[in-house]
Amino acid sequence: NQVNAAGEITTIKYYASDNYIMKIKGETTVEEFLNNIVSNNGEQLKIYDKEKEVGLAENIKTGMELRVGTSKTYILVVRGDINPDGKITPTDLSQLKKHNVGISKLEGEQLKAADINYNGEITALDVSQLKMLLVGLELPEVKTSTGNIIVTLDTTEAAKEVKLKIEVRENA
């Protein structure tokens, strides 16, 4: 399950597409993030926030940049971190809802952070899944096969059990 983005980096934990790295969980530190990225050509990896290098103990925020030496820059996208503070908060949920009903429009990395299930669309499912992240539930991995999406969540937390099963199938 290794991802190789443009020959510059390799990661198992995150997803790299175009100039973005996604699937980063809220409150991930720079150190934890860098421990899960490898430079394929040995160049140094550094994280920047608005042209300022970020320390290892700081949290990754949507919109920060991973610089691979001087050759490549990736924009970092924290899943659900729409208002780039590195956390999943009610403000993120509010911004997602406003986008979903057409009151405001998300773009770029904020739009990618709002696509919680990584299907390329912002829907009510993303709103529901962001609510789950907001209350501390883990989301399942999304697996696709010939147009079918099957998502299953089975979590036991503090003596209560939460089960979610979503099946989306193409009409024949």
Q: What is the pLDDT of residues 11-23, one digit of tens each?
A: 888 888 889 999 9
- The distance from CA 156 to its chain's CA centroid, rounded to whole angstroms, is 24
Within 51-127, strands assigned E span 52-53, 65-68, 72-78
User: Do 87 and 102 meet the contact criterion of CB atoms below 8 Å apart?
Assistant: no
70 touches 60 (CB < 8 A): no
The lowest-confidence range among 58-67, 71-80, 156-165 is 156-165
Average pLDDT of the chain is: 82
- In whole angstroms, what is the distance from residue 3 CA to residue 15 CA? 7
Can you count the helices (H) and strands (E) in the chain? 4, 12
CB of 2 within 8 A of CB of 28? Answer: no
Q: pTM for the whole thing?
A: 0.78
The pLDDT of residue 158 is 44
